[in-house]
A and B are shown apart, each in its own frame.
Chain A
Amino acid sequence: MKSNLFILTKVQLKTGLSVQGRGRKNRSALLIFGLIAVAFLPLIIEIVKFLSDAYNALERIGQQGVLLSLSFTISSLVIFLFGIFYVLNIFYFANDVESLLPLPLKPGEILGAKFLVTVFYEYLTGIAFVLPIVAVYGVKSGGGVLFWLYAVLAFLLLPVIPLALASYIILPLMRFTGFAKNKDRFRLVGGIFALVLAFGYSYLNQKFVGSTLTSEGLQDLFLKGNNSLVGIVSRIFPTSRFAAESLVNASNISGLTNMALFFLVCALAFVLFLYLGEALYFQGVMGISETSARRRKLTSDELDKNISSKSVLMTCLLKELRILFRTPVYFLNCVIMNFLYPLFLIFPFLAQSSAGSLMGELGHIINNEKFGGYVLVGAFTLILLVSSNNGITSTAISREGSNLYISKYIPAKYSTQIMAKVLSGVLLSAGGILSLLLISAILFKINAAMMFAILVTGLAGALFTAFVGIMIDIIRPKLNWDNEQKAVKQNFNMLFTALICLAAAGVTIFGVIRLKLGFAETLAAILILYGLLDILMYYLVKTAGVKRFSEIET
């Protein structure tokens, strides 16, 4: 059993991690990572500075431990939420499941390997949330060998419990519900479920933390000193407490006992997971099919409805939208986010008990004419960021994958086919703009002039991001993928587009603030600037873009 587990884990890691193929591409990926790291260096320095300031402040009241427990708790939470996705995708919907099932393997071996692989993936999350804080804490508190040893152990073990929890939810769900019969539908339901969970969790947390940490309660806690705040923060994710306590008390025996407890809980969680897996996995994973079929003859009416004539542009656009909406990975990553992000933004406000007054105050600021220019450029920036992050155009060519050749032999101009993709991006971004307008109209009661201004500048911005995205994806499309996940999630083009648009947004904000532009001036400036940029990009796509597109060979 042990060796099978080991071999499976190795194979899965290898196939999973070869993100961008070999050779030149790999090197360029490395270069990109390097560039990003350099670009973020100032930010990282800022974060470290902030953390060490926070440490100093907390140390004065004997609460520096709260930093550790905060980082463990938050990363446990994030790992748990990601875990739901990972468990669904890696355990049930991965392409290798079908080839593993006929092999003489025990469910425990397959699941054990998949669990370990998922743990490895989650280390990435861990690095982001744990590493900086633990490092700052360790250096500041002058942690000894034991501290660092416990830190490494805590880091390695951290994903086990949240992932096990995610599996306890998913395993029975897949075994006992009928959803599981259809891969596509369930991917969608699973994704939406995770989103709802994310909302719910953040809502409850806000409520919980908000009510416990009243100013009196907080003062009381601080006065007690001795890092008792750790207990409160860790209550959100109870097990991470052991890890935090063990690092805080690394120098005395309590550190050891806490680490031992943490280890024990992790081991128990894993054993329970294997036990559940043996009982539930095979039954749940078998009989998952890609899609359902009715096999019913269309009536003459249905046929008529289905065969309306459209122009080439419209038929290409329709095809694009159908595939976007029907492929769960695309739907979750590219479509749904456009409509949900305003919710994410206002959620923290809603969860606060004093939400009403806060909203009102914000509404006042937003509706204050003095700030009109800033509000407009703020909304514009938001739209620019969201529509450059939806990846609709920046993965549009990549998403064609092995079907790209169809674009080449049909008698439709390349420029028309490309514009259909641009249009699909603008259309969905427009949906995002409308949902932002709707929510801010309800919550902040913004006036009609502002709504109109956000709408037109937003459209100009959405068009710009769509052109930037398609141009980048034409230049370096990622066509060699075997599952759709790779076309969007592991595609650097999305990141490039987002970075370029981030830079554009930065310049725009800077300009408006620097020149102290009012509402009307900001509106005019954005419209003229992005109007010109849009025209420029349109020509670029029409000429260089089309030429490059014609040269792509699969």
Chain B
Amino acid sequence: MIVLENVSKTYGGTVKAVDNISLTVNNGEIFGFLGPNGAGKTTTIKMITGILSPDSGTITVNGKDIRKEPIEAKKQFGYVPDDPNVFLRLKGIEYLNFMADIYSVSPGDRKQRIENLARRFEMESALGDRIQSYSHGMRQKIVLMGVLIHDPSVWILDEPMMGLDPKSSFILKEMMREHADSGKTVFFSTHVLDVAEKICDRVAIINKGKILFCGRIEEMKEQFKRNESLEKMFLELTENEE
């Protein structure tokens, strides 16, 4: 569960990237975070994960405040950043092991999970090579594996499908569903509205740092009093804001 209350963030004193937003992401749901380029999605996610500190407001993950108990809060989630270029000089296996050490994964679990994930994402033959030699999608996969290896209860994913091949993105969606169904939390941002429409239990639409809508897609349709696609409604919502 993630709770944001009245969170704001201004870059360099001028660009108000996130403007007083409040959100609750419940256990057991996949929550989609939608919005045009530059809307403030990545900024919000960076504040939840402790990379940026909000100018005002509070953020808790599973009840732990990211500012007051940072280490405890950080243990609750796994994070896939929008840029998968991590520690390029490390080998895939070394990166996974680094993450496992940081999140103190037991040696038994570690091996079993690495083998399992490598098989599912078809990364077995790449683990011994440096991340530098990976393609964009492979880098995305190794970062994803680095999250899944410590089995966090809250998943925070910034455009996780970007660059993944159809099979991997299918597997990921399946895993997101399984994770939410087991009573845990998935929070992700995306531009692919078809995907959001199919797998999200709830969505929030953000534009220019403000939340325009937050709720189930059916609720949005009721609000629009029409049975339109998410894409149409999204475009209309973000257009009207001048």
Give residues in A with beta carbon < 8 Å to B. Answer: 290-298, 302-304, 306-312, 314-315, 318-319, 322-323, 326-327, 402-403, 405-406, 408-413, 550-551, 553-554
A290 touches B133 (CB 8 A): yes
B133 touches A291 (CB 8 A): yes
A323 touches B51 (CB 8 A): no
B93 touches A292 (CB 8 A): no
Closest to B126 in A: A295
Residues of chain B within 8 A (CB-CB) of A327 are 89
A-B contact count (CB 8 A): 112
Residues of chain B within 8 A (CB-CB) of A551 are 53
Closest Cβ–Cβ distance, residue B138 to chain A (whole Å): 10
Besides the known contacts A312-B102, A409-B51, 17 further A-B residue pairs in the complex with CB atoms under 8 A apart: A292-B133, A293-B130, A297-B127, A297-B128, A298-B128, A302-B128, A303-B115, A307-B114, A309-B110, A318-B98, A319-B94, A326-B89, A403-B87, A405-B51, A408-B51, A553-B52, A554-B51
Closest Cβ–Cβ distance, residue B13 to chain A (whole Å): 13
Q: Which of B32-40, B71-79, B159-167, B215-223 lies at the interface?
A: B71-79
B102 touches A412 (CB 8 A): yes
Closest Cβ–Cβ distance, residue B68 to chain A (whole Å): 13
Closest Cβ–Cβ distance, residue B155 to chain A (whole Å): 13
A312 touches B128 (CB 8 A): no
Contact of B111 among A303, A319, A406 (CB under 8 A): A303
B101 touches A294 (CB 8 A): no
A296 touches B102 (CB 8 A): no
B86 touches A322 (CB 8 A): no
B87 touches A319 (CB 8 A): yes
B93 touches A298 (CB 8 A): yes
Residues of chain A within 8 A (CB-CB) of B126 are 293, 295
CA distance A310 to B71 in the complex (A): 18
CA distance A160 to B97 in the complex (A): 50
Residues of chain A within 8 A (CB-CB) of B50 are 408-409
CA distance A550 to B53 in the complex (A): 9
Closest Cβ–Cβ distance, residue B110 to chain A (whole Å): 5
CA distance A307 to B109 in the complex (A): 11
A296 touches B125 (CB 8 A): yes
Closest Cβ–Cβ distance, residue A311 to chain B (whole Å): 7
Residues of chain A within 8 A (CB-CB) of B87 are 319, 323, 403, 406
Residues of chain B within 8 A (CB-CB) of A553 are 51-53
Contact of B132 among A291, A308, A309, A318 (CB under 8 A): A291
B129: Cβ under 8 A from any A Cβ = yes
Contact of B79 among A308, A323, A409 (CB under 8 A): A409
CA distance A307 to B87 in the complex (A): 17
CA distance A432 to B75 in the complex (A): 38
B74 touches A306 (CB 8 A): no
A294 touches B128 (CB 8 A): yes
Closest Cβ–Cβ distance, residue A259 to chain B (whole Å): 50
Contacts A408-B50, A411-B103; A322 near B94 (Cβ below 8 A): yes
Task: Give 10 CB contacts A-B under 8 Å.
Answer: A293-B133, A295-B125, A307-B96, A311-B101, A318-B98, A322-B94, A327-B89, A411-B75, A412-B102, A554-B51
Residues of chain B within 8 A (CB-CB) of A550 are 53
Residues of chain A within 8 A (CB-CB) of B51 are 405, 408-409, 553-554
0 or 1 for each of B91-125: is its CB under 8 Å from A? (1 = yes): 00110111111111011001100110000000011
A297 touches B133 (CB 8 A): no
CA distance A408 to B94 in the complex (A): 20
Closest Cβ–Cβ distance, residue B64 to chain A (whole Å): 10
B85: Cβ under 8 A from any A Cβ = yes
Of the candidates B50, B70, B72, B97, the one having the most CB atoms from chain A within 10 angstroms of its own CB is B97
B97 touches A307 (CB 8 A): yes
B46: Cβ under 8 A from any A Cβ = yes
A319 touches B83 (CB 8 A): no
Closest to A310 in B: B101
Residues of chain A within 8 A (CB-CB) of B93 are 298, 303, 306-307
Contact of A410 among B74, B127, B128 (CB under 8 A): B74
Closest to A408 in B: B51
B49: Cβ under 8 A from any A Cβ = yes
Give 9 closest A-B pairs by Cβ, nearest first.
A315-B101, A411-B74, A293-B133, A293-B129, A409-B49, A408-B51, A326-B89, A411-B75, A405-B51
Residues of chain B within 8 A (CB-CB) of A403 are 85-87
Residues of chain A within 8 A (CB-CB) of B99 are 410
Residues of chain A within 8 A (CB-CB) of B89 are 322-323, 326-327
B101 touches A309 (CB 8 A): yes
